[in-house]
Copies of this chain bind each other. A is one copy, B any other.
Amino acid sequence: MNGAESLVTTLVDQGVDICFANPGTSEMHFLSALDNPKMKSVLCLFEGVCTGAADGWYRMTDKPASTLLHLGPGLANGLANIHNAKRASSGMVNIVGEHSLKHLSYDPPLTSDIEGLARPLSYWVRRADSSTTIAWDAATAVAEASSHPGKIATLILPGDTAWKNAGEAVLPPARPSGRNAPDQARVDQVAKVLRSGEPVLMILGNKATRGRALELAGKVAAGTGCRLGSQFFTARIERGAGRVPLERIPYAVAGGQAFLKDFRHIVTVETKEPVAFFSYPDKPSLLKAPGTTVHSLVEPDEDSVAGFEMLIDALGLKDTAPVLQERVETPPPSGALNPESIANALAAALPENCILVDESLTTGRQTMGFTMGALPHDLINNMGGSIGYGTPVATGAALACPDRRTFCMVGDGSAMYTIQSLWTQAREGLPVTTIIFANNQYAILKAEYSNMGAGEAPGPQAMSMIDIDRPTIDWVAMAKSMGVPGVSVDTAHDFHSAMVRSAGEPGPSLIEVKLY
């Protein structure tokens, strides 16, 4: 067994059984080792698709995927979606090829400081300097990536480490799994606040927005009258009819402030107090009102199920039924496309248990509330703010959940960043419906221009950096070029019909929603 085989064997033995790959010459031994029947390999035609897909895989499985990236530049191409994954607390094991040590001394063309490139966005970085210890390195990488919250682990694989004999694998001792419960004193303080009768917003993040944690939060809300919220962006929310509903804190600074102004207390669960996405000359960074106190119930590295159980004990709410969202039947809309009719079309079309990846930016921003009463589904957001996350994350989520339909709502500007995802979706026959909101502009930037105090409106040259018409992108042709059937719609009725139709067919499809 060589080092590459030892690495792949260790990955699968430790539960990492998928690799999103774009290999190069220096990874040929790893490529050969991928012919392991327990490892699924998925080819992506750009590394940003690999890392985004690994993020999507983690969001749906809570297990890290691996990626295979070609030296420093291959890693660099994946970094933007590594940033997004890091901000979503997704675990990921990146394997980055590297020249052999001897060869590096001659500074060949593809040489770069891979550790330097990996460090800013990885929690853990190691250069695997020997084939005999690479099993240990790989198991450590998986353990780091799998910890709570999930982490980015990057393992650099020099050629000679891959091709030399590995000998017997030696693994580090297994780490204790299980998460820390929060401190009792903190729980008691939050219980006191909740009993005070003062208005409280409890903000849930990361793994608290689903499963048992979410259900327990619903009991606290039912028993104390506190309101439950989520940040504007959350890694994954289980929502829709029958789930505990979370109110979404608005994105814009003024809207966020208005939403938060009447709460005397904010209680955080696996998240922090709300912060503005960007800095503006005359706007604050923190959105809470003066006089609002922030209390942490569960820190990001703690267990929110345990935290809620302790809180429910303290409050005596064990037998309280949680607040649940009622089903709202939305009739398929007709007429022109606008944010409301789009949201209603979504609400009417979403099939039970689907996955909704949202990178719709301006189009979907104000109206996702209309889908609160849709059939139960998972909603995934971009936590890092780097555009081009949507189509790769949808690809990874669909591989994780091949029996569910994934809808990926994405603005045209964002979609262009990592459009190569469509090819992988076609190759793997994934049940993904990509919905392109085509407004031919970085519409969010038009709004932000005056928000930012850069002037009333952009001048002609600046405006031309925000409009992405000239030429208009033909999204149906784009989809066709990569083997994905597409359709263009310009009415709410046709949008709804296209979604329903796509959900009834196997494999990927694309819907261009013409907003111009």
A26 at the interface (CB under 8 A from B): yes
Enumerate chain B residues within 8 angstroms of A478, measured Cβ to Cβ: 477-478, 481-482
Contact A475 B466, CB 8 Å, known A121-B112, A275-B107? no
Interface hit among A53-61, A173-181, A199-207, A442-450: A442-450
A474 at the interface (CB under 8 A from B): yes
Looking at the assembled complex, report how far the CB atom of A475 sits from the nearest CB atom of chain B, in whole angstroms: 7
Contact A76 B73, CB 8 Å, known A32-B455, A41-B464, A445-B28? no
A116 at the interface (CB under 8 A from B): yes
Chain B CB within 10 A, most for which of A31, A159, A468: A31
Quick check: A83 and B77 within 8 Å, CB to CB?
Answer: no
A45 at the interface (CB under 8 A from B): yes
Quick check: A473 and B481 within 8 Å, CB to CB?
Answer: yes
Q: Binary interface profile of A, 288-316, with partner B (CB < 8 Å = 1, else 0)?
A: 00000000000000000000000000000
A43 at the interface (CB under 8 A from B): yes
Quick check: B28 and A448 within 8 Å, CB to CB?
Answer: yes
A281 at the interface (CB under 8 A from B): yes
Quick check: B475 and A481 within 8 Å, CB to CB?
Answer: yes
A138 at the interface (CB under 8 A from B): no
**Complex Cα gap A383–B474 (Å):** 34
State which residues 8-54 of A face B: CB under 8 Å: 21, 23-26, 28-29, 31-32, 34-36, 39, 41, 43, 45-46, 48
Enumerate chain B residues within 8 angstroms of A331, measured Cβ to Cβ: none
A74 at the interface (CB under 8 A from B): yes
Looking at the assembled complex, report how far the CB atom of A143 sits from the nearest CB atom of chain B, in whole angstroms: 24
Quick check: B423 and A108 within 8 Å, CB to CB?
Answer: no
Across the interface, name the chain B residue whose C-beta is closest to A480: B477
A279 at the interface (CB under 8 A from B): yes
Q: Binary interface profile of A, 243-279, with partner B (CB < 8 Å = 1, else 0)?
A: 0000000000000000000000000000010011111
Quick check: A73 and B160 within 8 Å, CB to CB?
Answer: no
Q: Binary interface profile of A, 92-115, with partner B (CB < 8 Å = 1, else 0)?
A: 000000011011011111101100
Quick check: A73 and B80 within 8 Å, CB to CB?
Answer: yes
Enumerate chain B residues within 8 angstroms of A112, measured Cβ to Cβ: 83, 120-121
A350 at the interface (CB under 8 A from B): no
Interface hit among A214-222, A372-380, A397-405, A413-421: A413-421
Quick check: B87 and A109 within 8 Å, CB to CB?
Answer: yes
Quick check: A43 and B77 within 8 Å, CB to CB?
Answer: no
Enumerate chain B residues within 8 angstroms of A77, measured Cβ to Cβ: 48, 77, 79-80, 388, 417
Contact of A385 among B80, B105, B109 (CB under 8 A): B109
**Complex Cα gap A416–B323 (Å):** 49
Quick check: A106 and B458 within 8 Å, CB to CB?
Answer: no
**Complex Cα gap A29–B71 (Å):** 36
Quick check: B461 and A35 within 8 Å, CB to CB?
Answer: yes
A392 at the interface (CB under 8 A from B): no
A233 at the interface (CB under 8 A from B): yes
Quick check: B386 and A73 within 8 Å, CB to CB?
Answer: yes
Enumerate chain B residues within 8 angstroms of A419, measured Cβ to Cβ: 419-420
Quick check: B465 and A109 within 8 Å, CB to CB?
Answer: no
**Complex Cα gap A71–B45 (Å):** 24
Quick check: B474 and A480 within 8 Å, CB to CB?
Answer: yes
A426 at the interface (CB under 8 A from B): yes
Quick check: B41 and A452 within 8 Å, CB to CB?
Answer: no
Quick check: B31 and A454 within 8 Å, CB to CB?
Answer: yes
A462 at the interface (CB under 8 A from B): yes
Contact of A473 among B160, B423, B444 (CB under 8 A): B423
Quick check: B385 and A449 within 8 Å, CB to CB?
Answer: no
Quick check: A449 and B116 within 8 Å, CB to CB?
Answer: no
Quick check: B43 and A109 within 8 Å, CB to CB?
Answer: no
Looking at the assembled complex, report how far the CB atom of A77 sits from the nearest CB atom of chain B, in whole angstroms: 5
Enumerate chain B residues within 8 angstroms of A109, measured Cβ to Cβ: 87, 233, 277, 383-385
Quick check: A386 and B110 within 8 Å, CB to CB?
Answer: yes
List 5 other contacts, CB 8 Å, given A21-B465, A117-B117, A475-B481.
A76-B76, A79-B117, A100-B279, A117-B120, A163-B453
Interface residues of A (CB under 8 A from B): 21, 23-26, 28-29, 31-32, 34-36, 39, 41, 43, 45-46, 48, 71-74, 76-77, 79-80, 83-84, 87, 99-100, 102-103, 105-110, 112-113, 116-117, 119-121, 159-160, 163, 233, 272, 275-281, 285-286, 383-386, 388, 413, 416-417, 419-420, 423, 426-427, 442, 444-445, 448-449, 451-455, 458-462, 464-466, 468, 470-478, 480-483
12 interchain pairs (CB within 8 A)?
A25-B448, A31-B445, A45-B417, A72-B121, A73-B83, A76-B80, A77-B80, A110-B385, A159-B278, A419-B419, A427-B470, A478-B478
A-B pairs, 8 with minimum CB distance: A471-B483, A103-B279, A73-B386, A35-B459, A76-B79, A478-B481, A116-B120, A73-B80
